[in-house]
Structure 1
């Protein structure tokens, strides 16, 4: 977990739920070193999770979404959750394509909204 880097959110504004919803701006790739709960706004690029430990990159492509949640419960919260195991938080990160915060979609009766996501695994050389 400490070695992954999430690319594609550089320079995006985000709401930091760990800091009372404070609006901030991402500088460089996202790395995880503590409890993280953020809503990235204006995020339309592919997200790339570089995982050098497993020599892979996970590519997340999306349409119908302009927001992305990045979440990891870290030590204390994962211990309370019960299904993570002792070090489970070190083996996961949530990168979720959403319609959240400034990107909420209201769907009128009979209308539709499509949010499409595709996950691809690539070799990390």
Structure 2
């Protein structure tokens, strides 16, 4: 659908509209009194979310990010599916799967009783996806923009054979200073260390709060449903509540890693941390024919307690 058709079908006066964004992508702009947000049909991705009264956006998007068909957008909340990280069967394939590179359909937009705005995106298999991954599926991403931001991904197996997936909500959170950052809730969790200088198959156990003072690239297992990011530099706490996920990835590439990525500024490592709700590593999800599985997260900004 083009912009006129989308606005005719789904726009909400003074609340939600479809506009042309960077790279010619379709953006959805939401301002409902509870929050402002920007979504895009490219990858069903949330690019921005700022609740009413908040000084800063919840999310980070790189100024060097690329926009266009088949391009990943570095920031916001990308959807990683049907594999998270490298495809274990064919490691040289596109990292984090193809869902974030595809154009999704808008299926519904609603105003909820509390004033929040709900948007539902859909994606189904076609010849292009079969060339990459030979399964029949339906995907839905539901985004609720209100006093909190909620993102839910549902996978339905539309075929007659079971299939396995790994997946994730690859959230990039804006931060003020990594030196003043702590991630709480991971104490005692085992992790796989994927940092550049870590030995192959390195493992560890988190002790206390996680601090970011160098490259961090860890897959945590046995993670509780609530994690908290304390950001003293921005004087705020980000509360992350996950559903149907027991693994979590924490990533910051640090300076050398950012410098190696063309869609990050060399100083961007100071501006974000990824704390990702995932099913990854040992948490592989098998879906039987005609059945569905779901993963989701709710994000809330609160003032940091003094």
The interval holding the TM-score normalised by the smaller chain is: over 0.9
Rounded to whole Å, the distance in 1 between the matches of 2:224 and 2:286 is 19
Superposed counterparts of 1:1-125, under 5 Å: 1-18=178-195, 19=198, 20-125=200-305
Rounded to whole Å, the distance in 2 between the matches of 1:73 and 1:21 is 19
Task: Tell which structure's C-alpha radius of gyration is larger.
Answer: 2
- Indicate the structure whose relative CO is greater, using CA pairs within 8 Å and at least 6 residues apart: 1
What is the CA distance between 1:84 and its match in structure 2? 2.3
| TM-score normalised according to structure 1 size | 0.94
Q: Secondary structure at the match of 1:14?
A: strand
What residue ranges of structure 1 are gaps of 5+ in the alignment?
none
Cα RMSD, aligned residues only: 1.1
Runs of 4+ displaced beyond 4 Å = none
Q: Which has the higher helix share?
A: 1
What is the CA distance between 1:41 and its match in structure 2? 0.1
Rounded to whole Å, the distance in 2 between the matches of 1:95 and 1:106 is 24
Rounded to whole Å, the distance in 2 between the matches of 1:86 and 1:115 is 32
Q: Secondary structure at the match of 1:110?
A: coil
Q: Secondary structure at the match of 1:101?
A: coil
Report Cα offsets for 1:50-78 as digits up to 9, x if no partner: 00000000010011000000001111110
Rounded to whole Å, the distance in 2 between the matches of 1:97 and 1:66 is 8
Rounded to whole Å, the distance in 2 between the matches of 1:106 and 1:91 is 36
Aligned length: 125
Q: Which moved more, 1:45-54 or 1:17-26?
A: 17-26
CA contact (8 A) 1:9 1:45 kept: no
What residue ranges of structure 2 are gaps of 5+ in the alignment?
1-177
